[in-house]
Amino acid sequence: MASRQGFLCTVGVCCLLGFFCNSALSFVLRGNNDRPIIGILAQETDFKSFQKFGSSYIGASYVKFLESAGARVVPIRLNRSDEEYDKIFNSVNGILYPGGSVDLKTSEFARVSKIFYSKALKANDRGDYFPVWGTCLGHQLLSVLTSGEDLLTWTNTDGFALPLNFTQDTKGGRMFQDFPDDLLQVMASEPVTSNFHFWSLSVQNFTNNKRLSKFYKILTTNVHNNVEFISTMEAYRYPIYGVQWHPEKNQFEWKNSAGIPHSRSAIKVGFYTADFLVNEARKSDHHFSSKKEETNALIYNFSPVYTGLFSCFDQAYFFD
């Protein structure tokens, strides 16, 4: 097995798992909440096959992804009042923006995401730890929320499993610090990340936009259709993270596609990614005002529908 130092030299990030920057260390030293609850933002049912079940949905794989690492989930539904969103924000320990295909500026998904993004920035600025995570469309959404622009480029990276190209900035990053040496080596050399996206945030557009380049560091990139795009990023000053790939699919989606790897290593990628996010949520001390409010808010109050015969999700939760 390659040493940690040997692996990092191979991928060009020789200091990746050495000593982390002071800001990263301060995150690690925070207290623990052993009953974390993470909100997942629903989005409009743009698929015709979904519309008969409800006006909004959450793919069940995102719920299982968080539950697999010891978190519970609250669905954040659309078209609710500002007062309700404020109450939810103060009750959950983080938020996940999932993948999908709705408009990044005009959808209700985009509108509500901006509300929670703004609340998260203000909370973290006053020392109230609150992580924000974006997967695929959610990752792209973070770039729009931060820059105020849609800077995406067509890459047609739909149904591809890829290795990750680690960058020099990974050395001061938080996301991969607890991943095992051998797994990081696999992630840099084997196709273990699932990609289902037509658009991507190119490194060029990122670099040319000062709002993005000052706010986020690039942890990994990929290249497809001659475009180098950002596949993993995290904010410098905030616990805000984006992945263009789908860590939840490896474990919990079974569409017959080469883009969803199910190898032992691919499953580990999903687990360690979930473990990182849930541990970030453990650093938040938000909580519901009563046990009854908590119980009524949990996703356990809804039943998933088997949708594997007519969609990319094996199961989904529907609302409204």
Active site (catalytic) residues: 136, 246
Cβ(36)–Cβ(71) under 8 Å? yes
Secondary structure, 3-state, the chain: CCCHHHHHHHHCCCCCCCCCCHHHHHHHCCCCCCCCEEEEECEECCCHHHHCCCCEEEEHHHHHHHHCCCCEEEEECCCCCHHHHHHHHCCCCCEEECCCCCCCCCCHHHHHHHHHHHHHHHHHHCCCCCCEEEECHHHHHHHHHHHCCCCEEEEEEEEEEECCEECHHHHHCCCCCCCCHHHHHHHHHCCCEEEEEEEEEEHHHHHHCHHHHHHEEEEEEEEECCEEEEEEEEECCCCEEEECCCCCHHHHCCCCCCCCCCCHHHHHHHHHHHHHHHHHHCCCCCCCCCHHHHHHHCHHHCCCEECCCCCCCCEEEEEC
Cβ(38)–Cβ(73) under 8 Å? yes
Report which of 172, 89, 161, 83 is spatially closest to residue 129, judged by C-alpha positions. 89
